[in-house]
Structure 1
Amino acid sequence: MRHSILAFVAVGLMLVAGPLAAQDAFKPAAGTELPDVALPPQLDRVLRDYERAWRAGDAAALASLFAEDGFVLQGNRPPVRGRPAIQAAYEGQGEGGPLRLRALAFSTTDTVGYIIGAYGYGSTPGDTGKFTLTLRRAPGEPWLIFSDMDNLNASPRQRNVPDTPSPE
């Protein structure tokens, strides 16, 4: 009886430990940065115009890059829809700063497309976060942002709190 209980416990531990070990196999290596992709000029313009408006702290210029019924989907904030609401949301975010945007992937058809990318600030190496832009346009017209969703690569707590030993 005692051997069957030990065998049952051993099998149970293997069933639990197997999936846990498999989960670690799919985690990307820390500091792994995906390479940039070159964008066609009409898509690159969207990113460069966004950078310029952000750096200038120009909420009206940022909002003008969006479709009339576009969305801003930022972490820890409710969704914002429409140019007036987008402008108001950006007006409350301070002076801007030296934003850097880079593309990781993109695709377009005639009137819809997307850019997946990463962002950072100034000359600090590495990416602070990542974003997706969904794009829309009338045939032959410039691309407008339909939705902008971004989030940080690490929580503010992880980035700002130094490692300290846990109390024992």
Structure 2
Amino acid sequence: MSQSDYRAEVEKAIRVFEDAAKAKDADAIAGLYAENATLLPPGTPPIKGRQKIRDFWKAFLEAASDPVVRPVFVEGTGDVAYEIGEYQVTLRSPQGGGTSRQHGKYLVVWKRQSDRSLKMVADMFSPNE
């Protein structure tokens, strides 16, 4: 597989993620993760397993809108690829106040599954602020 093939496959998955986030569809987002994946969101312990990751995104999406995800770098070899990118999302204050636009960065490790699909096995993101 060429580097442009890895990038195209990851970018396709990112569009699925963005569309699912806009639709607040945590099930579709969870489907992008391997069954035993780990999510490393800011300020919380690691979240392990697709179902728990789905639960995290369901709660997160209740306060989120207008997500934008932009891969900056994608590289792969064999059955593994990694992606470094930037994101933006509007978040509603948990205290019921206004909203703020969060800008951040992320790192994702993708791994080819037995069905040949590329799934996230590790995902870490953090705000720039």
> When the two structures are superposed, what TM-score results if normalisation uses the length of structure 1?
0.62
Alignment correspondent of 1:48: 15
Return the structure number with greater relative CO, CA threshold 8 A, min gap 6.
Answer: 2
Larger radius of gyration between Structure 1 and Structure 2? 1
Looking at structure 2, the residues matched to 139 and 87 of structure 1 have their Cα atoms a distance apart, in angstroms, of 21
Alignment correspondent of 2:49: 82
- Residue type at the aligned position of 1:104: V
Alignment correspondent of 1:109: 77
Q: Is the 8 A contact 2:7 2:74 kept in 1?
A: no
- The alignment partner of 1:92 has SS state of helix
Q: Which runs of 5+ in 1 are unaligned?
A: 1-38, 155-168
- Residue type at the aligned position of 1:109: T
**1:58 to partner: Cα distance:** 0.8
- Residue type at the aligned position of 1:128: H
Structure with the larger helix share: 1
> When the two structures are superposed, what TM-score results if normalisation uses the length of structure 2?
0.79
Q: Is the 8 A contact 1:70 1:146 kept in 2?
A: yes
Once the two structures are superposed, residues 75-122 of structure 1 have per-residue CA deviations (whole angstroms, 9 ceiling, x without a partner) of 001110111111111121215411111111111112011000001137
**1:55 to partner: Cα distance:** 1.0
Q: Which runs of 5+ in 2 are unaligned?
A: 1-5, 91-100
- The alignment partner of 1:91 has SS state of helix
Report how many aligned residue pairs link the two structures: 113
Q: Is the 8 A contact 1:56 1:97 kept in 2?
A: no
**1:43 to partner: Cα distance:** 1.3
- The alignment partner of 1:97 has SS state of strand
Alignment correspondent of 1:164: none
Q: Report % sequence identity.
A: 27
Q: Is the 8 A contact 1:131 1:151 kept in 2?
A: yes
Counterpart check, 1:146 vs 2:114: no
**1:53 to partner: Cα distance:** 1.1
- The alignment partner of 2:113 has SS state of coil
Alignment correspondent of 1:57: 24
Show the 5 A alignment for 1:128-139.
128-138=103-113
Looking at structure 1, the residues matched to 29 and 115 of structure 2 have their Cα atoms a distance apart, in angstroms, of 22
Q: Is the 8 A contact 2:22 2:65 kept in 1?
A: yes
Looking at structure 1, the residues matched to 63 and 28 of structure 2 have their Cα atoms a distance apart, in angstroms, of 13
